[in-house]
Amino acid sequence: QVQLHQWGAGLLKPSETLSLTCAVYGGSISGFYWGWIRQSPTLGLEWIGQIDQSGSTNYNPALRSRVTMSVETSKNQFSLTLRSVTAADTGVYYCARLWSAEGRYVATYWGQGTLVTVSS
């Protein structure tokens, strides 16, 4: 059974950098795409982006200038960095394993979520 466990700082000040890491258990990080999704009362669910085991990425254009995703296959982990956060970045951040049907991606396994609050 695939499980994703994520961690990172939950309280940030404006202009700081959000960093989250997701570890994959019960399966290999190779052969799949891995994504980050966030959820807030104001914006609902928002797809941040995705990365595969080779490091190939696809970011949401709305966040592209501030986002970096990386993968560390030796540790079976992948990470999200979001720079220059503001209060609008407050929400629950999820990591997810993606599954592709003819190149279209859905999230089939999810991390437990990390509540990130941006406040001065």
Partner 1 sequence: IQMTQSPSSISASVGDRITITCRASLGIGRWLAWYQQKPGKVPNLLMYAAYTLQSGVPSRFSASGSGTDFTLTISSLQPEDSATYFCQQTNTFPLTFGGGTKVEIK
Kindly list the residues in this chain that would bind partner 1 in the complex (CB under 8 A).
Answer: 44-47, 49, 58, 60-62, 94, 99, 101-102, 104-108, 110-113
What is the smallest separation between the CB atom of 69 and partner 1, expressed in angstroms? Answer: 14
d(CA 37, CA 112): 12
Pairing of strands 77-82, 67-72: antiparallel
d(CA 39, CA 79): 17
Residue 13 vs 104, nearer CB to partner 1: 104
Residue 54 vs 102, nearer CB to partner 1: 102
What is the smallest separation between the CB atom of 31 and partner 1, expressed in angstroms? Answer: 18
Other CB atoms within a 10 A radius of the CB of residue 64 amount to 13
Residue 16 vs 23, nearer CB to partner 1: 23
27 to each of 23, 32, 50, 97, how far by Cα in Å?
10, 10, 18, 10
What is the smallest separation between the CB atom of 3 and partner 1, expressed in angstroms? Answer: 12
Q: List residues bridging with 90 in a β-sheet.
A: none
What is the smallest separation between the CB atom of 61 and partner 1, expressed in angstroms? Answer: 6
